[in-house]
Structure 1
């Protein structure tokens, strides 16, 4: 556990058991540190029944595949964050067609969080990667790589894969 300091008096916090959970508490003023979830936003971009995935270029999970996504900044809503991340990570200009779901994740070393997921319509642009990704590729549901980024991406991609498989079975 990383060291945290009191927001009230600056003292190093100590772990205490409160309401059946370990909490960090100030030994001087009794202020309690309540960590908050990180908020992420991701975009499902499809083309010809294929899902766009990016290969991570940095840790954590360097070399794994992920959706265009990132953390929501304090002054933006999740939908706009997803649109911004797509533009920054792929160069594509998209519009969100619909909100799909929120996914909880507890497997990210940067902290637990939730990821808001949207479906996109591709509007314009060609894929132009930045330093965050080493590759971009559209995958059919049968072709999804095994090594997927955690932090909710694996859950989201797995659910997309399941839905695509069901659609395929109906046709």
Structure 2
């Protein structure tokens, strides 16, 4: 994480349930991002997986468990170090819990995904979505 010492790394939860992925739209864009995965800063001493699980609960009320870290990179639009964590729903229903940060959420199948996110995903994330999303 030496690439970006001034800002903490971000953990994003890639949550697929019933063939659809959970996306949230932030009230304030980060770079050109609007729709994205539930995500937030990794706190000191916290693993990317734990941060993804925590941020999902804080933002959407949805309980998830981590499956695996899909990969990490410095995001080309924001310059932030990102960890992408595949997660599985364990309890709850997605809602907007953090209404200071989030405007809305959506569950998207593969065919509608480009309506929310019109640019390519990080390759390991795209490969995961290609396998798990319904068309």
Q: Which has the higher contact order (CA 8 A, sep 6+)?
A: 2
Q: What's 1:100 paired with? A: 70
Is 1:142–2:114 an aligned residue pair?
no
Is 1:53–2:53 an aligned residue pair?
no
Query: Which sections of structure 1, spanning at least 5 residues, go unmatched?
Result: 1-33
> Does the 8 Å contact 1:57/1:63 carry over to 2?
no
TM-score by length of structure 2 reads 0.77
| Count of aligned residue pairs for this structure pair | 129
Is 1:70–2:43 an aligned residue pair?
no
Larger Rg: 1
Alpha-carbon separation, structure 2, partners of 1:50 and 1:76: 28
1:133 offset after TM fit, Å?
Answer: 1.3
TM-score by length of structure 1 reads 0.63
> Does the 8 Å contact 1:46/1:120 carry over to 2?
yes
1:165 offset after TM fit, Å?
Answer: 4.3
In structure 2, the CA distance between the partners of 1:160 and 1:139, relative to structure 1 (3 Å rule), is farther
Alpha-carbon separation, structure 1, partners of 2:30 and 2:21: 22
1:93 offset after TM fit, Å?
Answer: 0.8
Alignment RMSD (CA, Å)? 3.1
Deviations 1:110-142 (A, max 9, x none): xx2221111111010111212211111111111
Query: Which sections of structure 2, spanning at least 5 residues, go unmatched?
Result: none
Alpha-carbon separation, structure 1, partners of 2:57 and 2:118: 20
